[in-house]
Amino acid sequence: MCGIAGIIGPKANQPNLRKMLEAQKHRGPDFTADWVVEGKVALGHNRLSIIDLSEGANQPFFSDCGNYVMVFNGEIYNYLELRKTLQSKYTFKTQSDTEVLLNAYRELGESCLDECNGMFAFAIWNVKEQSLFVARDRFGVKPFHYFFDQNNFYFASEIPTLFAAGIAKKPNDKVWLNFFSEGSYGLPNETFWTNIQQLEAGHFLTLQNNHLQIKKWYHFEERIAHLQNQFHQNEEEYITNLLLKAINLRFRADVPIGFNLSGGLDSSTLLALIDQQEIDKSTIEAFTFVTHDERYDELPWVKSMLEQRPYHLNICPLSANEIPDLSLKIAQMQAEPYGGIPTIAYSNIFKTASQKGVKVLLDGQGSDEAWAGYDYYLSNSQSIVQGVTKSPFRAGVLDGDFAKNYAKTHYPKPFEDALLNMQYRDLFCTKIPRALRFNDRISMMYGTELREPFLDYELVEYVFSRPTDFKIKDGIQKWMLRKIAEKFLQKDLVLAPKRPLQTPQREWLSEDLKAWVMAEVEVLKQNSWFDAKALQTELDHFFNGDNQSSFHIWQWINAAQILK
Sequence letter at residue 368: D
- Element spanning 479, H or E: helix 479-485
Instruction: Pick the closest to residue 483 from 371, 391, 387, 559 (CA basis).
Output: 371
Task: Note whether 119 and 141 are within 8 A (CB).
Answer: yes
Spatial distance between the Cα atoms of 71 and 58, rounded to a whole number of angstroms: 10
Residue 244's H or E segment, with its range, is: helix 235-249
Q: Is 97 annotated as a binding residue?
A: yes
- Contact status, residue 117 vs residue 80, Cβ threshold 8 Å: no
In 3D space, the residue among 336, 392, 386 whose CA is nearest the CA of residue 183 turns out to be 392
Cβ(60)–Cβ(127) under 8 Å? no
Helices (H), 359-465: 367-371, 375-379, 400-403, 418-428, 431-444, 457-465
How far is the CA of 321 from the CAs of 123, 326, 509, 556, 563, in angstroms?
42, 10, 11, 19, 23
Helices (H) and strands (E) in the chain, counts: 25, 19
- Spatial distance between the Cα atoms of 83 and 78, rounded to a whole number of angstroms: 9
- The Cα–Cα gap between 69 and 550 comes to 47
User: What 3-state class would DSSP assign to 482?
Assistant: helix
Question: Cis (ω within 30 of 0) for the bond into 60?
Answer: yes
2 is catalytic: yes
Q: What share of the chain is helix, strand, coil (3-state, %, to 5)?
A: 45, 20, 40
**DSSP letters spanning 94-113:** SS-HHHHHHHHHHHHGGGHH
Beta bridge pairs of residue 230: none
Q: Which of 2, 112, 116, 316 is catalytic?
A: 2
For 177-180, which contacts have Cβ atoms below 8 Å and span 24 or more sequence positions?
Answer: 177/398, 177/402, 177/403, 177/405, 177/406, 177/529, 178/406, 178/407, 178/409, 179/337, 179/555, 180/393, 180/394, 180/395, 180/397, 180/398, 180/529, 180/555, 180/559
Would you please indicate which residues are annotated as catalytic (active-site) residues?
A: 2
Binding-site residue set: 97
Binding-site residue set for L-glutamine: 97
